[in-house]
């Protein structure tokens, strides 16, 4: 059974930083294109960042480019999202996602995704 568990969310002031983590069981992250997407009330789902299964192809949401970095620790089977210079519009629930085995990323990478976690809330105050 596949399980993805996010952590690291919280409340920060604008300009602050957070690092989200996602640990997985039942699948090997190095075999999957992995990513983070976010959801907030009244807004459609946004793919924040994606990393290909080989770790050499990335896709970032335009509004977070230069502020967000996705990375992966294969030994720990953990995915990270480092977020700096956070803005109030980054407020959302962030979800870890496994897109598919041996896949690359594209602008529409969040459709479809195979597995997702339960999410972690990020709140940025102005």
The tens digit of pLDDT for each residue in 50-62 reads 999 999 999 999 9
DSSP strands (E only) in 1-126: 3-7, 10-13, 18-25, 32-39, 46-51, 58-60, 68-73, 78-83, 92-101, 115-116, 120-125
- Tell me what the mean pLDDT of segment 20-47 comes to: 96
The answer on pLDDT for 89 being more than 90 is yes
- Tell me what the mean pLDDT of segment 39-47 comes to: 95
pLDDT for 45 equals 96
Alpha-carbon gap, residue 14 to 80, rounded angstroms: 20
Q: Do the Cβ atoms of 46 and 38 come closer than 8 Å?
A: yes
């Amino acid at each position: 059974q596949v399980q993805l568990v996010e952590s690291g969310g919280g409340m920060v002031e604008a300009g602050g930083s957070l690092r989200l983590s996602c640990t997985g069981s039942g699948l090997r992250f190095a075999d999957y294109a992995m990513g983070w997407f976010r959801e907030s009330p009244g807004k459609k789902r946004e793919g924040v960042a994606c990393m290909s299964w080989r770790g050499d192809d990335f896709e970032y949401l335009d509004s977070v480019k230069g502020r967000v970095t996705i990375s992966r620790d294969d030994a720990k089977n953990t995915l990270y999202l480092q977020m700096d210079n956070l803005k109030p519009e980054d407020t959302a629930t962030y979800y870890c996602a496994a897109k598919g085995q041996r896949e690359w990323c594209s602008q529409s990478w969040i459709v479809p995704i195979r597995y997702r976690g339960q999410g972690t809330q990020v709140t940025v105050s102005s």
